[in-house]
Amino acid sequence: MTDTHEAIDRDIADDLLDAGVWLFLRGGPPTTPWHSLPQAIKTITELGASHKRVAVCTDDRDADDLLAFGLDWVTREAVKHGMTREQAWAMGSLHGATRFGMENEIGGMGGGRRADLVLLSDDLEPISTWYGGELVVDQKKVTPVLDEALSKPYRYPEAAYHTVKLPKALKLSPDLPLEKVVAHTIKTELPGITLGHVTVTLEPANDWQTHFDRHDLCFVTVVERHGKSDGNVAHGLLNGFGLKKGAVASSVGHDSHNIIVAGTNDADMQVALDAIEAHQGGVCVVMDGKVTAMVPLPIAGLLSDKRVHAVADEVKALKKEWEKAGCTIAYMGFNLIPLSVIPDIRITDKGLVLVPEMQIQTLFEPA
């Protein structure tokens, strides 16, 4: 390991720098789990470490947040938390280029380097941008040169637009237990990175809704979507997710990027799955059999092929419907539920996974 963006506090950051690791301080919306810069930067401001092997970065950023909390914003946050303007801007440009051995081309001004330049105000606000010597943003406005380039987006190989390959007649929810059982549930809590492992005793009931009402539960299902299995599907239960009706789904289930669906009934969950398959990827909210918000992600099920402001508008609409549905963690946190390296329990297409034991856990056990 030679660099990391996962240092979440001062002491972890300091240990990593002592070990010779390049540090990327992660900044993002302060209400999300991806804003660790204020604590991690204390390795410099409190413990006296050099900033020479430190850069700033963003992580898990959607188009809406990227416009408001981009790399320029993270650079200003570094100033806010103790760096000089010159140090912070080097951390946002030269240091990252140096880490990847590109400092002779980008990241600074000088002979032989690309003329990739940003003109800043005294408050580090980007005003104009040159890319390869061409003016592409002038006084915060896109120039015709850039507009023409953005109007002809890169076309990925055709296979990249056909990555959602689902078997038919999927079973999206577990069978209703006929006897008293202990259920291993996934507890969702803010900020949404770590997930709790909570056991819940389910008394016999006539339907799943009774269990949902008693214990604040809903279904969570992961579907293998790359066509690499015989249609692996795993069932689980979310505890405290807040979803009272409908379904939500995403093809950005880190890191295998399978489809994760949460819901209260099979019908709405199937509508969500069908919407993602139809668009070959995306994130959506479904209520009463209708898709109320959708961000299509047709490139590998992970990326949009639209311009950033169009995607940002879609994301804003999605966030609004996501909150209306009652979901207690943001959809970016929801995407992490299948990430089977973070404690205490996760769900992949193979089933529930205990972390760090790396053991498969059955959903139900006899009471």
- Answer yes or no: do 342 and 246 share one domain: yes
**Strands 126-131 and 117-120, sheet pairing:** antiparallel
Residues 8-33 have a mean pLDDT of 93
Cα 17 from Cα 21, distance rounded (Å) = 5
In this structure, are 11 and 75 located in the same domain? yes
Domain membership of residue 135 as a residue range: 115-152
Residue 169 CA to residue 111 CA, distance in Å, equals: 62
Q: Is residue 162 situated within a structural domain?
A: no
Distance CA 329, CA 147 (A): 36
In this prediction, residue 192 carries a pLDDT of: 77
For the cut 80, the answer to whether the pLDDT of residue 194 exceeds it is yes
184 pLDDT band (50/70/90 cuts)?
very high
User: Tens of pLDDT along 79-129?
Assistant: 999 999 999 999 999 999 999 999 999 999 888 899 999 999 988 899 999
Q: What is the mean pLDDT of the chain?
A: 95
Give me the percent of the chain exceeding a pLDDT of 90: 90
- The answer to whether 93 touches 129, Cβ cutoff 8 Å, is no
Q: In terms of domains, do 194 and 212 share one?
A: yes
Q: Please say if the pLDDT value at position 32 is more than 80.
A: no
pLDDT, tens only, 268-306: 999 999 999 999 999 999 999 999 999 999 999 999 999
Q: Which amino acid is at 154?
A: Y
CB-CB contact of 156 with 299 (8 Å): yes
Residues 275 and 259: beta-carbon distance below 8 Å? no
Closest to 22 (Cα-Cα) out of 4, 38, 39, 8: 4
Residue 10 forms part of a structural domain: yes
The Cα–Cα gap between 136 and 155 comes to 21
What is the distance of C-alpha 34 from the center of its chain?
Answer: 9
- Encode pLDDT of 345-362 as tens digits: 999 999 999 999 999 999
Nearest of 101, 49, 99, 45 to residue 77 by alpha carbon: 45
Residue 157 inside a domain? The answer is: no
Check whether residue 19 and residue 85 sit in a common domain: yes
CA dihedral 58, 60, 65, 70 (to 10 degrees): 10
Is 168 among the domain residues?
no
Q: What span, in angstroms and rounded, lies between the C-alpha atoms of 37 and 84?
A: 15
Q: Tell whether 72 is covered by a domain.
A: yes
Q: Is residue 246 part of a domain?
A: yes
Q: In 3D, which of 48, 31, 27 has the Cα closest to residue 39? A: 27
On whether both 48 and 124 belong to a single domain, the answer is no
- Residue 277's pLDDT is 98
Q: How many CA atoms are closer than 13 Å to the CA of 324, on its beta-carbon side?
A: 13
Both 208 and 284 in a single domain? yes
pLDDT tops 90 at residue 153: no
Q: Are residues 122 and 261 in the same domain?
A: no
* Confidence label for 226 from pLDDT (cuts 50, 70 and 90): very high
User: What total of structural domains would you count in the chain?
Assistant: 3
Residue 163 lies in a domain: no
- Give the predicted TM-score (pTM) of the model: 0.92
Give the separation between CA 62 and CA 283, rounded to whole angstroms.
12
Phi, psi of 178 (to 5 degrees): -90, -15
- Is 280 part of any domain? yes
Q: DSSP labels for 134-201?
A: EEEEETTEE-HHHHHHHTSPPPPPGGGG---B--SS---SPPPPSS-EEEEEEE--TT-SSBEEEEEE
Same domain membership, residue 141 and residue 87: no
| 101 and 25 in a common domain | yes
For residues 93 and 142, state if they share a domain. Answer: no
DSSP letter assigned to residue 14: H
pLDDT above 80: residue 191: no
Q: Is the pLDDT of residue 33 over 90?
A: no
Q: Does 360 lie in the same domain as 326?
A: yes
For residues 301 and 193, state if they share a domain.
yes
What confidence score (pLDDT) does residue 20 get? 96
